[in-house]
Amino acid sequence: MTTETLSTRSAAVEVHDVHKSFGTHRVLNGIELTVRPGEVTVILGPSGSGKSTLLRVINHLEKPERGYVSVNGEPIGVRRHGDHLKELSERTILAQRSRIGFVFQNFNLFPHLTVLDNVTAAPVATGALSRPEAEELARDLLGRVGLADRARAYPRQLSGGQQQRVAIARALALRPGVILFDEPTSALDPELVGEVLAVIKDLARDGTTLVIVTHEIGFAREVADQVVFMDAGRIVEQGPPAQVLDHPRHERTRDFLSKVL
């Protein structure tokens, strides 16, 4: 077995030479990233550096012009044919995407569904679980995020922190191989940030594979296995938190950290 096959097999997420432009604006410029199973990767970088686009490429909400992403060894959205990449059917892409959790800055819960139905909707719709199975799992997951008693509430009746915890339970309901978080606490009042970070820390402790875009540096120092600093569509540096956060090698990283710390 070659080294390349080995590394592909052991990676939860592998981003290989990804380039993405919008019109003439190059937003991702040759991204290489490996996320190992059970690890937490925190992505930092200034606004506009391409962090959200990178997450969206990982679950193929955006299609890269060059390069590809593999999740658990399987290329997302494409199939390799020798040197060529062939686009998969929309149906296959949806099935692949359903195994990747995504938690958004603004929660994106279904406003007309109860908390319980928000969590059961996807596993029932995809046929992964029967309704009773999905409800049992949902009650379990709501307990895990501290919301067992809010199953019958509607999102508008919850605080932002509670809504984001429902969104995390909803992501977990698909039993994803990896969960992507795009600034999960940026829209929250400061006093609600801690309860959401506590739930994410709990997932990290349980060995869930997480990729998290956040500006919470203290959190990154505590839970990240690797910290990735992006600027202008490139990874400027990456490594363990003690290296990137405390001994950054690049001026741009130092400059960014001095502004957010």
Binding-site ranges for ligand ADP (CB under 6 A): 22, 27, 45, 47-53
Site residues for Mg ion, window 84-143 (CB under 5 A)? none
Give residues with Cβ within 8 angstroms of 4, minimum separation 6: none
Q: Which is nearer to Mg ion, 51 or 97 (CB)?
A: 51
With CA atoms as reference, report the closest residue to 180 among 52, 77, 73: 52
Question: HSE-up of 174 (CA within 13 Å, CB side)?
Answer: 24
Convert residues 7-46 into a mask of x (bound to Mg ion by CB under 5 A) and - (unbound): ----------------------------------------
Q: Which does 241 bind (CB under 5 to 8 A by kind): ligand ADP, Mg ion, none?
A: none
Q: How far is the CB of 183 from ligand ADP (least distance, A)?
A: 8
Q: How far is the CB of 135 from Mg ion (least distance, A)?
A: 34
* Residue 214 touches Mg ion, criterion: CB under 5 A: no
Quick one: angle between helices 131-144 and 115-125, nearest 10? 130
Q: Which does 161 bind (CB under 5 to 8 A by kind): Mg ion, ligand ADP, none?
A: none
What tokens does 4 get?
Answer: 């390349």
Q: Which is nearer to Mg ion, 46 or 160 (CB)?
A: 46
3 state SS of 14: strand
Q: Which is nearer to ligand ADP, 1 or 22 (CB)?
A: 22
User: Using CB atoms, what's the residue nearest to Mg ion?
Assistant: 52
Distances (CA, A) of 187 to 32, 117, 159, 182, 193: 29, 23, 11, 11, 9
C-alpha span between 17 and 28 (Å, rounded): 9
Q: How far is the CB of 134 from ligand ADP (least distance, A)?
A: 32
Beta partners for residue 43, in sequence order: 213, 228
Among 52, 164, 185, 253, binds Mg ion (CB under 5 A): 52
Q: How far is the CB of 141 from ligand ADP (least distance, A)?
A: 27
Q: Which is nearer to ligand ADP, 22 or 206 (CB)?
A: 22
C-alpha span between 69 and 7 (Å, rounded): 13
* Strand ranges across the sheet with 40-44: 100-103, 178-182, 210-213, 40-44, 226-231, 234-239
Q: How far is the CB of 182 from ligand ADP (least distance, A)?
A: 7
Binding site for Mg ion (CB under 5 A): 51-52
